[in-house]
Chains A and B, each alone.
Chain A
C-alpha cells in the first residue's frame, strides 16, 4: 500500500503557482520524498526529490515540513502543459517505489 496521501484532483489557473500537498505521516528517518508526474498515456517523469531540506530545480520546488510528515510540490508558474497526474512517493535504499493514485492537476486558461 502507498504510504502517502494526496488529494485526488486540483485545479490551477494558468500562470499561477500550483501547490500540490502530500501527507506521509509514517515516513521513516531514512526515507526520501520523491515526486513524479504522468501526462496522459505516457510514462511517468521524475520531477524532484528531497530528504529534509527544501529543494528547487528547473521544474519545481519541494517544501518538506520540519517533522517530515508532509510536503508540498510547487510549480511556480503553471502552464497548460503541466496538466498531469502528480505522484508523491517515499523511497529508502533497498526499497521499492510504491505509486499511489496521485493528484490529477488541471491547469486552466
Chain B
C-alpha cells in the first residue's frame, strides 16, 4: 500500500537528549514537510524539503534539524536546544505541483513525543 509512515506512534525521552523521528513515504512525492501541533492548536511548519538534498526552514525551525538524503525519507531530529519539545509531530508529502492547484498534502499518522 502506498502512503506515509511515521514511527513510533508514541515516544518518550528524557530532557537533554536528542531524538530523531522517522518519516517515510512510498508515494514518489518530491516535497516533504514536518509540522508540530500543540493541544488545541493548528499545525505549525518546522521544516520542508522540495527535492532531495535540499530543505528550508519553516516558521519554528529553532531547536530542530532535518536531512533529505533520499527522496522517500525525511527524518526530523529534535535537539536538546528545543525548549518545549513535547508535542504531536506530523509529517506530510506532496507530488511536484503543476501550475496552481496541485497542493494536496498527504499526512502521516503522527508521532506523539513526550519529554520529561
Is the beta-carbon distance between B92 and A43 smaller than 8 angstroms? yes
Is the beta-carbon distance between B90 and A43 smaller than 8 angstroms? yes
The count of chain A contact residues (Cβ–Cβ below 8 Å) is 23
A101 CA to B103 CA in the complex, in Å?
Answer: 20
Question: Closest B-chain residue to A32, C-beta based?
Answer: B101
Is the beta-carbon distance between B42 and A87 smaller than 8 angstroms? yes
A97 CA to B105 CA in the complex, in Å?
Answer: 9
B42 contact set on A, CB distance < 8 A: 2, 87, 99-102
B48 contact set on A, CB distance < 8 A: 96
In angstroms, how far is the closest chain B Cβ from the Cβ of A57?
12
Question: Closest A-chain residue to B100, C-beta based?
Answer: A93
Per-position 1/0 for B68-102, Cβ under 8 A of A? 00000000000000000000101010000101110
Per-position 1/0 for A24-67, Cβ under 8 A of B? 00000010101010000111111001010000000000000000
A100 contact set on B, CB distance < 8 A: 42
Residues 34-55 (chain B) with a chain A CB within 8 angstroms? 35, 40-45, 48
Is the beta-carbon distance between B44 and A99 smaller than 8 angstroms? yes
Is the beta-carbon distance between B104 and A96 smaller than 8 angstroms? no
Instruction: Tell me if B109 is interfacial: C-beta within 8 Å of chain A.
Output: yes
Per-position 1/0 for B19-45, Cβ under 8 A of A? 000000000000000010000111111
B4 contact set on A, CB distance < 8 A: 43
Instruction: Tell me if B107 is interfacial: C-beta within 8 Å of chain A.
Output: yes
In angstroms, how far is the closest chain A Cβ from the Cβ of B41?
6
Question: Closest A-chain residue to B9, C-beta based?
Answer: A41
Is the beta-carbon distance between A49 and B109 smaller than 8 angstroms? no
Question: Closest A-chain residue to B88, C-beta based?
Answer: A41
Most chain B beta carbons < 10 A, residue from A2, A43, A44: A43
Question: Closest B-chain residue to A85, C-beta based?
Answer: B42
A41 CA to B45 CA in the complex, in Å?
Answer: 17
Given A96-B48, A99-B43, A101-B42, answer yes or no on A45-B99 (Cβ-Cβ < 8 Å). no
